[in-house]
Each structure stands twice: as C-alpha cells, then as structure tokens.
C-alpha cells in the first residue's frame, strides 16, 4: 500500500482562508487551528476521494472508457455515499492509515471501483441514469445522482441502506420509519434500459426551479389509515436521507449561507453534492465564509486490483482540501444525512424542527 496521498492545491479558489488558523468544522467535528491542525488534516485525508478515471472497461452499450468531462457529479456523489458507508461500517471516528490495511475499509472501497461488479460504480450509476433521462456520457445533476443511489441501494445486501430522496422538499416520516423497520429485500437483477427514457422528466426539471426552502416533515395519515405501522426493533436499518435543494435561482442566495453551514455541525451529516455551474464538488465542512471540498476533476488511471482485500488505495485519498466562498456556489445542491437507526432519525428530526437547531434557515420541519 502506497504511503503517499495526492493533492490539488491549484483548485483552491482565490482568496482562500488561511488553513492553519481559526476554526473549521468537518462533518460534525470542530477543530481549532493551529493546535488541532494535525487532527484536522488526518480527518480530511481519511475521507474517500473519488475522481475521474481513464482506461476502465467500456460501460455496457457504449465505448466510454473515461468519465472526464461528464462524471464529476457522479464522483461527488460517490464521495458522499462512501462517507455514509464508512460512518455506518467503521464509525465517524475511523481514520485511514496508509501503512495498515483494514479489511472493512477495503470492502467499502471495493464498492466504488470502476467495474460493473461494484455496487456503486460509475458504470452502474451511469446505466441507472439512462432511465432517469440521462444518456450515457452526459452530465448528471445532484438529484439525478440521488435517484440513482436509491435504485442501486436495493441490491446492496451488505449495507442494506434505506435511501430516501426528499422530493419537492417533502419528507414523509411514516414512510421512512416503516421502510427502515422492514427487512432488506434485494432484487436479483439490475434492470437497465439502454434506450433514452420516454417518461416525462418534469419532476426532475421542476426540482431545478424550486426556490421555496421549506422542507415539510409530516405524518402520512392516509397511508397510516390503510396499513398498520410495523413495530420498532433494535436492528432497524440505516437511513441515508438525501435532500435536493435549490438555494436561489441563477445564483446562490446568501440568506441560506448560515443554515447551509449549520448542516455540517450535525453528526448525521455526510456532506453536500454541489459545486460551481457544471463543475461538481463534494462539500464536507466549512471555515468562516468558505466551504471545504474535494474536487473530482483530476483524471487518474483506473485500478484493477487482483485482490479486493488488498486495493492500492493511495489515489483514493487527498492530502489537502479545497476551499470556495459560499457566494461562488451553484444554487443546486443535495444535502446528505446518515441516520444509523430509527432513534438517530428521530434525533435528526428534532434538530431540524423549528427552533431545534441553527440549520432551519435551509430546511424547516413540520409535524
């Protein structure tokens, strides 16, 4: 296993903050610099960095062997999902070592290799995107990536995640709770449509024009009247809650900046898929008026490990993060939260409810 990590210092935006002083928050953990600088860097370097790759086996039904130029939002989504799975399987406090192999971590990493055999590979995400109206080799938006994850998670028998995408700012709590109490049911085959979808894309298109920032969390009383709610158990499934948001029209509306930053204060946060226009990034923290990110716009050679228990993983870790001013962001984002169980979901709900936490400027919850 190589002992070095990569960096992309050149992608930091102009006027980046001094990374060695001040306070910085990373996915629920706060660091005071410079005294916590080493711990901050260790945390950053332990996040999985997904980038463009070249020379992978062609995606089924195409001659595509590289995702440079179109796969950045998919890669940013992979980083968010990888963080969710690391938190589920290893805990938020887990730290990567370049000299010590962790078999559970190797299994996590294997889910994102560039092969159709990996549960959350670029190949499978791109193929699922065809059914969402995204032809192979075309750019995804945050909502497209979230919907692809929801479809692929059904086949992940190891993590058995409930992936819930909050469409139209509406989270139906009864539906999520009922699903997380049900045993995981895996479909045997992934159905792939290689023809462009004929279904209307109005739901996705309308999502790109949402300017109202209220997320309504309510009881689905109609469903409750028709079926009995399953009883809670001690082993309810984990929930990955993905909330696509439009924080402005053509430009990011700064009235949401404090609320967006406050999402990173929550221990359930697994980051945000966002970026600049047509330039996706994975945000995983903030420092002052800047967000901390990993950038997938580096093209690396595809890995073909002979043994999935010994993946050469240095290229999946980055030495330094990037920083971007919040007002430079594209307003289209998808916020992710991982709840380990039903109790964790209820705690997140409480924090997101009106008056429950500082982030309700972005999402307002009602019961």
DSSP string for residues in 320-334: S-EEEEGGGS-SEEE
Residues 284 and 302: their CA atoms lie apart, in Å, by 25
Q: How far is CA 58 from CA 25, 62, 70, 338, in A?
A: 39, 6, 15, 32
Catalytic choice (43, 131, 295, 330): 295
* Neighbouring residues of 358: CB distance < 8 A, sequence distance ≥ 6: 258, 259, 262, 265
Catalytic choice (155, 184, 216, 297): 297
Q: How far is CA 307 from CA 112, 130, 238, 261, 313, in A?
A: 15, 31, 29, 40, 12
Helix axes of 72-90 and 122-131: crossing angle, nearest 10 degrees: 120
Catalytic choice (43, 50, 67, 72): 72
Residues 283 and 321: their CA atoms lie apart, in Å, by 10
The answer to whether residues 183 and 119 touch, using CB atoms and an 8 Å cutoff, is: no
175 annotated active-site = no
The answer to whether residues 356 and 206 touch, using CB atoms and an 8 Å cutoff, is: no
184 annotated active-site = no
The answer to whether residues 174 and 224 touch, using CB atoms and an 8 Å cutoff, is: yes
Residues 311 and 289: their CA atoms lie apart, in Å, by 37
CA 290 to chain centre: 19
295 annotated active-site = yes
Tell me the β-bridge partners of 23.
32
Q: Among all residues, which ones are annotated catalytic?
A: 72, 295, 297
């Amino acid at each position: 296993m190589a002992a070095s990590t990569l960096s992309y210092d050149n992608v930091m935006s102009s006027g980046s903050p001094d990374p060695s002083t001040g306070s910085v928050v990373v996915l629920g953990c706060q660091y005071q610099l410079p005294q916590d600088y080493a711990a901050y860097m260790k945390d950053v370097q332990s996040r999985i960095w997904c980038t463009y790759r070249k020379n992978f086996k062609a995606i089924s039904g195409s001659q595509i062997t590289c995702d440079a130029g179109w796969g950045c939002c998919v890669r940013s989504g992979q980083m968010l999902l990888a963080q969710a799975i690391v938190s589920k399987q290893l805990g938020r406090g887990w730290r990567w070592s370049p000299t010590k192999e962790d078999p559970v971590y190797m299994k996590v990493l294997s889910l994102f290799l560039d092969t159709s055999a990996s549960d959350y590979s670029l190949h499978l995400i791109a193929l699922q995107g065809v059914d969402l109206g995204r032809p192979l080799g075309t750019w995804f938006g945050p909502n497209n990536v979230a919907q692809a994850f929801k479809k692929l998670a059904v086949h992940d028998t190891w993590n058995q995640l409930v992936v819930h995408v909050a469409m139209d700012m509406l989270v139906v709590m009864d539906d999520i709770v009922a699903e997380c109490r049900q045993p995981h049911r895996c479909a045997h085959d992934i159905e792939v449509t290689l023809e462009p979808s004929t279904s209307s894309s109005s739901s996705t298109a309308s999502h790109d024009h949402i300017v109202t920032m209220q997320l309504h969390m309510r009881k689905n009383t109609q469903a409750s009247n028709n079926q009995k709610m399953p009883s809670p158990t001690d082993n309810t499934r984990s929930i990955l809650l993905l909330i696509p948001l439009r924080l402005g029209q053509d430009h990011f509306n700064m009235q949401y900046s404090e609320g967006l930053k406050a999402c990173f204060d929550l221990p359930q946060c697994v980051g945000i898929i966002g970026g600049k226009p047509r330039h996706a990034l994975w945000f995983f923290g903030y420092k002052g008026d800047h967000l901390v990110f990993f950038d997938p716009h580096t093209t690396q050679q595809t890995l073909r490990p002979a043994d999935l228990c010994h993946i050469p993983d240095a290229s999946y870790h980055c030495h330094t993060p990037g920083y971007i001013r919040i007002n430079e962001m594209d307003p289209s984002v998808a916020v992710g939260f991982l709840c380990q169980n039903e109790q964790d979901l209820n705690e997140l709900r409480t924090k997101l409810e009106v008056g429950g936490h500082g982030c309700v400027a972005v999402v307002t919850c009602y019961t």
